[in-house]
Structure 1
Amino acid sequence: MMQNQYQFAMAAPEILLLVLACATLLFDAFSKSDRRHGTFLVSIGSVLLLALLSLWQWNSGVQGNAFGGLYVADPLSHLLKALSCAVVAATLIYGREYVEVRGMVGNGGEFYSLSLLALLGQYVMISAGSMLTVYLGVELMSFALYALVALRRDDVNATEAAMKYFVLGCLASGILLYGMSMIYGATGQLNLRLIAQVISSGNAERLPLVFGVVFIVAGLAFKLAAAPFHMWTPDVYQGSPTAVTLIVAAGPKLAAFVITLRLLIEGLHGIAIDWQPMLMVLAVLSLAIGNLTAIVQTNFKRMLAYSTIGQMGFVFLGLLSGEGGQGASLSLAYGSSLFYVIIYVMTTLVTFGLILLLSRSGFESEDIADLKGLNRRNPVLAGMLLLAMFSLTGIPPLAGFYAKLAVLQALVGAGHVALAVVAVMFSLIGAFYYLRVVKMAYFDEPEGEPASIELGAITRGVMSINSLLILALGILPGGLMALCVRVIESSLRF
């Protein structure tokens, strides 16, 4: 493992991404096209190049610390960076027509450059080896997302959503930073592995350490949209332009999950007895509030926001199921959570992607009622919607079923049988609002004259691959699950 203090080559993905984001902005400044086709192609090319670089580093065994422990390169970071690139590429492809029709790129291609800067923030979060780097990545990603949400300055709903997101996001960042300061005061360290060593040696101040953990868990819960820190999620999801909603809903969840792993599992595993009960409360509240509130929603984006809150409950269940475990059982528990987050993000791309594709000039396909008769208008899109809803429900043989099963198995293996029963009960409640969407798409008559739905070849191909992966990973989940467990074992020390 390379331990040289400065390893600029190790941080090549972040350096290249920053250069490409600036180059995209400069290229756009000289672009004369109102539809910004060139900027779109440069952005897609940049993301694909970055994905290849991360995969090459992974295959080449690039692993170690850089910049005095501020930066970490390991299999977990390489995998999540490649996945984040895939998510951003799919988002840009799905949202291309949407942003062009609504004039979001007519006066400048900031949508594309801000998307790359948000990705840069996710990169920094994923490779964070210190609390300083964690905070730097969170803020870099968050400020790019705030700007994206407010990109349609003439839209009152988007402006309101951006203001709520900014105020609550700054509050959450302050809470997270305050928790980090208390951890530093208790241990005298910012590096996560050094913090773990101080805690294991028994030299940490107990009271400020526990208080710091409380604030850190609260800040992480906000970033993952877990109850009771979920208040921003429905309003931001509904008020944002749908292309931006997809950016907020997908990639940042991967990065937030990684910093949760690094802070709690790697840095603060020595006091797991203190933060595990907090995760239990967050999990149960998220399952209850998310699934029960989603039932009464009529706006599809708002329903999916509450669905996200419920899905994050399962993620926390996977994390807390590692309590008291050793070796393989720990890796399996945390691997099941990683698998769950990946499947959730993959399904989110389909659901919000469908909203983007069904929207047209002057019409936002945001209400659940807008999906009525979708099977008559476009059976292929209706089939994709069915796969996504069934996967979120947890119906076999789709990937969502195996993701839920893996978490429940880890829970039962850790002795949390009662929690597993609670999770199953709320999943059954959640089945109601997911299946209601399928019922409207297949059995309800469309309101008014059905509008034809035309998709470009690239968009149709990417959406088809995205949907088929949900099915394929449900039938053959072993490879991805084994990969998740392997990267956890090779990357985290607990």
Structure 2
Amino acid sequence: MSFTAPVIEWAGLTPVLIILGAGVISVLAEALVPRAARPFTQTLLSVLAVLGSAVALARRWKVVVLEGTWQELTGGVVEDPFGVAAQTILLAVGLLAILVMADRTTADDGAFAAQAADRPGSAEEAESIHAGWIATEMFPLTLFSLGGMMLFPMANDMITLFVALELVSLPLYIMAAMARHRRLLSQEAAMKYFVLGAFSSAFLLMGAALLYGVSASVSYREIANAVVRGGLEGTDWLSLAGVALVTIGLLFKTAAAPFHAWSPDVYQGAPTPVTGFMAAGVKATAFLALGRFYYVIGVTLYRDMTPLLGAVAILTMVVGTVAGVVQTDVKRMLAYSAIAHAGYMLIAVMVPNSVGMSALLLYALTYGVATVGAFGVVTLVRSSHDGIPGAEATDLDAFAGLGRRSPWLAGAMTLFMLSFAGIPLTAGFVAKFEVFIVGIAGGATWLVVAAIISSVATAFFYMRLVVLMFFREAEDERVTVVASMGPTALTIGLAAAVTVLVGVLPQTVAAMLANAAMLMP
């Protein structure tokens, strides 16, 4: 019996392998490194892994984007300019998220439970806190999830897509339950995320099974060819149903309505750094994977799928806008903001060509960076108990007077809110402008009009927070601002710098992403 070894282009997988390899080493560090040295060791290892992956990715950018060498790395992973650009964006988001996770602030407590296995309110938990233990399990989990995110937009068959989806999701189910404060709320959020995440996986698997029935293949290319050729008489509906179910499975991860129910509760209950990582990373990678799926397969059923995507986009904008206006918790407000932005990003998905993919890449970058920065600010605004900092003060009224307490934090938060609202001279304006132009050129003018109306309405709750920070006095002393020990301040500064630079000088980034928005058919 002969065996043919698979041909794997390891050089193209180097950026992902560095991240996943560092995740394995990080797991070993949890077992072998003394507890007191773990926070520094794990932080250093995670940051070096991301930087090392970025160096390897820079070399791949030269080979793939500049020299035009596209290739299929394995049977289910392709390396093309779009995939390399997507990995670059996700690495940037991952680095910022890791820095926020690593910061313990001057309150010396961090965002994560001393020991996640302790029952909330138990004597064991009190002993762990008294001993000064610091959870570090989130670092290997973050690296594994980030590795899955980097594979997700490069997936070129249904099996790889599903495996990458689970690699992204499983670590996040655990991380969502690791909050240091409000432990029961955190565990409830993790359970909701897990249950609804299982539903999304089931939809995707069922859709993949139907597409396999049509084409006898899991490859995107073979499925697209089979859909174009047509299968047995009376089976055309299988193709449409399969594409629709895969779309629904991915839309769960983007928190598009009506598949958004998990989002506000999970965003509110999860540790704030994890919320930022989910809001930026998971949304970006799911949309980028959806973009490739539609570029290769969905375009063959474009006329049939346009009503579904259009209806979902409109409903997503309405839900995100209307529900966001009435929120009194800043994390829930940002959750509904994320839902509204998912509606805008769907416009780019509905134009499955290089121009639409370029707009999608730019939106993923600008939204992701501003989101991590905004949640970084939230981690530093705390409730105060006789001068002792406690949990994050996420009620909107807690941000009243922040402009006086901490002008730089309030200024950064204002910048992120302006970017979300799409105000000129911010990165968010450039990204929205690109998406809207793409939508009009692609014949979705009615969607663009709805998106503009939604953007104007969502500006209300962004500006409400700005007014609270600068034009309202703090009503009591039950809120305090803790200082960063460095990592969160660096994250907020970098996010603010990117938001301004891309807003003021967008040509360079837009041109790079336009050159990178090419996918292997």
Give the TM-score normalised by structure 2.
0.88
Indicate the residue corresponding to 2:30 in structure 1: 28
User: How far 1:463 moved relative to its partner?
Assistant: 1.8
Alignment of 1:272-421 (within 5 A): 272-322=302-352, 330-359=353-382, 361-421=389-449
Contact 2:113 2:178 in 1 (8 A): no
Residues 241 and 459 of structure 1: is their aligned pair in 2 closer, same or farther, counting only changes over 3 Å? closer
- Structure 1 contact 95–356 (Cα < 8 Å) conserved: no
TM-fit CA distance, 1:102: 4.6
Cα deviation code 1:391-412 (max 9, x no counterpart): 1111111111121111221222
**Which of 89, 93, 105 pairs up with 2:95?**
89
Shift in Å, 1:483: 2.2
Residue 472 in 1 paired to residue 501 in 2?
Answer: yes
Deviation at 1:436, TM superposition (A): 0.2
Distance 1:265 1:456 in 2: 44
Percent sequence identity is 31
Q: 1:326 maps to which residue?
A: none
Indicate the residue corresponding to 2:227 in structure 1. 199
Residue 492 of structure 1: CA displacement?
4.0
Question: In the comparison of the two structures, how many residue pairs are matched?
Answer: 481
Structure 2: gaps (5+ residues): 1-5, 116-132, 384-388
Task: Give the drift of 1:287.
Answer: 0.5
Counterpart pick for 1:148 among 175, 179, 187: 175
Deviation at 1:253, TM superposition (A): 1.8
Q: Which amino acid is 1:283 matched to?
A: A
Tell me what 2:125 maps to: none
Give the equivalent residue in structure 2 for 1:53: 56
Decide which of 171, 182, 199 is 2:199's aligned counterpart: 171
* Alignment correspondent of 2:189: 161
Shift of residue 304, structure 1, vs aligned partner: 0.4
Structure ranking higher on relative contact order (CA contacts 8 Å, 6+ apart): 2
The whole-number CA distance in structure 2 between the counterparts of 1:222 and 1:385 is 28
CA contact (8 A) 1:377 1:453 kept: no
- Work out the CA distance in 2 between the residues paired with 1:309 and 1:212: 25
| SS of alignment partner, residue 407 of structure 1 | helix
Instruction: Tell me if the contact between 1:25 and 1:109 (Cα under 8 Å) persists in the aligned partners.
Output: no
The AA in structure 2 aligned to 1:354 is: V
**Contact residue 104 and residue 111 of structure 1 kept, 8 A:** no
**1:366: Cα distance to partner?**
1.3
What letter is aligned with 1:339?
Answer: L
The CA distance in 1 between the partners of 2:292 and 2:111, in whole Å, is 41
Cα distance in 2 between the residues matched to 1:457 and 1:235 = 29
Worse-superposed segment, 282-291 or 149-158: 149-158
TM superposition shift of 1:52: 1.4
Q: Does 1:77 align with 2:93?
A: no
Q: Which residue of 2 aligns with 1:325?
A: none
1:458/1:240 Cα in 2 relative to 1: closer, same or farther (>3 Å)?
closer
SS of structure 1 residue aligned to 2:425: coil
* 1:104 shift after superposition: 4.2
Taking a change above 3 Å as real, the CA distance of residues 477 and 151 of structure 1, as seen in their structure-2 partners, is: same
Structure 2 partner of 1:248? 278
What is residue 481 of structure 1 aligned with on the other side?
510
Contact 1:95 1:353 in 2 (8 A): no
User: Quick check: 1:165–1:232 contact (8 Å CA) kept in 2?
Assistant: yes
Change in Cα spacing, 1:411 to 1:86, as seen in structure 2 (3 Å) is: closer
When structure 1 is superposed on structure 2, of 387-396 and 153-162 the one drifting more is: 153-162
Taking the aligned partners of 1:40 and 1:59, their CA distance within structure 2 comes to 29
Moved more, 478-487 or 210-219: 478-487
Distance 2:435 2:246 in 1: 23
Distance in 1 of aligned mates of 2:491 and 2:466: 22
Aligned 1:119-158 pairs, distance under 5 A: 119-152=146-179, 155-158=183-186
Greater CA drift, 331-340 or 384-393: 331-340
C-alpha separation in 1, matches of 2:260 and 2:328:
19
Alignment match of 1:112 (pick from 139, 160, 165)? 139
- The one-letter code matched in structure 1 to 2:266 is V
For 1:431 and 1:475, how far apart are their aligned partners in 2?
A: 20
Matched, 1:66 2:73: yes
- Further displaced range: 242-251 or 137-146: 242-251
The aligned counterpart of 2:245 is 215
SS in 1 for 2:90: helix
Distance 1:169 1:244 in 2: 16
Distance in 2, Cα, partners of 1:233 & 1:457: 29
Q: Which moved more, 1:95-104 or 1:192-201?
A: 95-104
2:44 to 29, 41, 46: 41
Provide Cα deviations, 1:42-76, integer angstroms capped at 9, x if missing partner.
Answer: 11111111121112112133631133x21111222
Q: Is the 1:378–1:453 contact (alpha carbons within 8 Å) kept by the matching residues of 2?
A: no
- Report the counterpart of residue 327 of structure 1 in structure 2: none
